[in-house]
Amino acid sequence: MSETVRVRFAPSPTGEPHVGNVRTAIFTWLFAYVGNVRTAIFTWLFARRAGGSFVIRIEDTDQARTVEGAVEQILDSLRWLGLDWDEGPDVGGPYGPYIQSERLPRYREAVEELLADGHAYRCFCSPERLDQARKEKQRLKQPPGYDRACRDLGNAERQKLDKSGTVPVARFAMPRDGTTKLNDLIRGDVSFENALIDDFVILKSDGFPTYHLANVVDDHAMEISHVLRAEEWLPSTPRHVLIYRALGWEPPLFAHLPILLAPDRSKLSKRHGATSVLEYRKMGYLPEAMLNFLTLLGWSLDDHTEIMSRQQLTENFSIERVGKSGSIFNVEKLDWMNGQYIRSASPDRLAGALLEYWKAYPPPEIPDLPGEQQVLGIVPLIQERLKTLADASPLIQFLFKPEAKYDPAELVQKGMDLDRTRAGLEASLTSLEGLPAFDSETIEQALRSLADELGVKAGQLFGSLRIATTGQRVAPPLFQTMEVLGRERTLSSVRGAIARL
Ligand code: GLU
């Protein structure tokens, strides 16, 4: 094993192509579920904390399930979260290629070696024969898996099959008894009964290796020091350890991350609304909130710190503080955290995030996107009111329309009538026209004393003015809105409202 930390994130760009078009397939593809991205985050944090290398490797040996376009989606999710990689399919590196389908000769070489040493054997069984054997094992209540028929073939029989033209698979010859032990950095000592693991396939008849073999060959060739991956891979690990041993290689260290649970403590899945990280992006979550939230699913700094910047996370992450038990994915907490991040963002950051979001998902309410300066001016209006970036465009759409659109009846507030509403708007117009300055404080003072003078509730007067200037019942704070609209536009909307009454 190498001295330095080299870790990898090894997604499989597979999906369920049958569930509709490719796009749907990509969005439902297993990797994209937040759980897999969390694996990427932990691996990245570990690399950055240790000053090591973070490697991306695409595991596309299951050709039938490989979905076109999925690799780009995977890389996009990581980029969005700001997880940068040192080596990978797009950037290359000294251990490439980083796509398994481009590394086939290496796997074949390893298989040849295992076959030659008797650690593997060729299996000629047809799917029908395997099916029969499986049923027979079920009947005898034996552990499932291959019945090893080809392992015990005599030489003559093997030669005959070799010549028969049937393309064999290669299977690993599991030890028939004993246990395989490993020390997991999170779960401690774990051991597995060899007899319960069948002689699994390492090379398929299409010439592609299986995950188990390719994973071992590549982690060794790429000098990976630590493997961080989801707990569901733990049962595969004894297989890997045995392949390492058979090839005379030292396995890396393993850390299996706790499973993600839904609030009802069942395994997190699509049915809980959990979806791909890019969907969360589309819903308007900030990447820094998502990174923080996902890191806390299984890791903690202490028993109370929740909001942590990227830098704090990379400075403090450690495998020792990754828990063993499942962590609950709670969307309400994500919402809360996203709100925290939005409210504490600098105006620059929030303006940048909004623009980036609108560019990626053009809002129908704002056909022509505003420039950065204009967005900076809008930010103070909405910063306190956003739960997600998606909330912004409906709130401020009036700014992008030549004039406010509404039903004039809406101008008349509860407890008011037409005449009093008109009088209020006319008095407001005079007051606003005469203001020495047109900033929110001056406007507020003037309109509050006006409401007193007129003997109407402030809310009634402001309600009419809100409709007049924005056409919306729900809008940013009135006085700031007027300031952003400017005197001229504010006055002309109030005049317009009076005319429409
Ligand atoms: N290709 C596997 C996956 O999709 C990687 C598992 C591992 O990290 O070994 O999750």
pLDDT in tens, 235-270: 999 999 999 999 999 999 999 999 888 888 887 776
Q: How far is the CA of 11 from the centre of ligand 1 (A)?
A: 5
State if pTM tops 0.85.
yes
Report how far ligand 1's centroid is from the alpha carbon of 231 (Å): 11
Q: Residue 422's pLDDT band (boundaries 50, 70, 90)?
A: very high
pLDDT > 60? residue 24? no
Percent of the chain with pLDDT over 90: 77
Asked if residue 451 lies in contact with residue 457, where contact means CB atoms within 8 angstroms, the answer is yes
Cα 316 to ligand 1 centre (Å): 25
* Residue 5: DSSP 8-state: -
Q: Which of 160, 270, 387, 401 is catalytic?
A: 270
User: How remote is the CA of residue 63 from the centroid of ligand 1, in Å?
Assistant: 15
Which residues have any ligand 1 atom within 6 Å of their CB? Answer: 10-12, 31, 59, 211, 215, 229, 233
Q: What is the mean pLDDT of the chain?
A: 91
163 is catalytic: no
DSSP conformation letters of 338-362:
HHHHHHHS-HHHHHHHHHHHHHHS-
| pLDDT over 60 at 29, yes or no | no
**Proportion of the chain above pLDDT 70, given as a percent:** 94
Asked if residue 182 lies in contact with residue 202, where contact means CB atoms within 8 angstroms, the answer is no
Q: Whose Cα sits closest to atom 3 in ligand 1?
A: 11
Please state the rounded mean pLDDT for residues 359-372: 94
Atom number of ligand 1 nearest to Cα 227:
8
Name the residue of 6, 62, 211, 218 whose CB sits within 8 Å of the most ligand 1 atoms, as the mutation to test its pocket: 211
pLDDT of res. 402: 86
Q: Which residue has the tokens 């396939």?
A: 201
What average pLDDT does this structure show over 121-132? 94
Single-letter code of the amino acid located at 385? R
For residue 18, pLDDT beyond 50: no
Give the confidence band of 21 by pLDDT, cuts at 50, 70, 90: very low
State the Cα–Cα distance between residues 234 and 95, nearest whole angstrom: 26
374/4 Cα distance (integer angstroms): 48
229 C-alpha vs ligand 1 centroid, how far in Å? 7
CA separation for the pair 214, 110 (Å, rounded): 9
Atom of ligand 1 nearest to the CA of 211: 1
Q: What is the mean pLDDT of residues 41-70?
A: 90
Closest ligand 1 atom to Cα of 228: 8
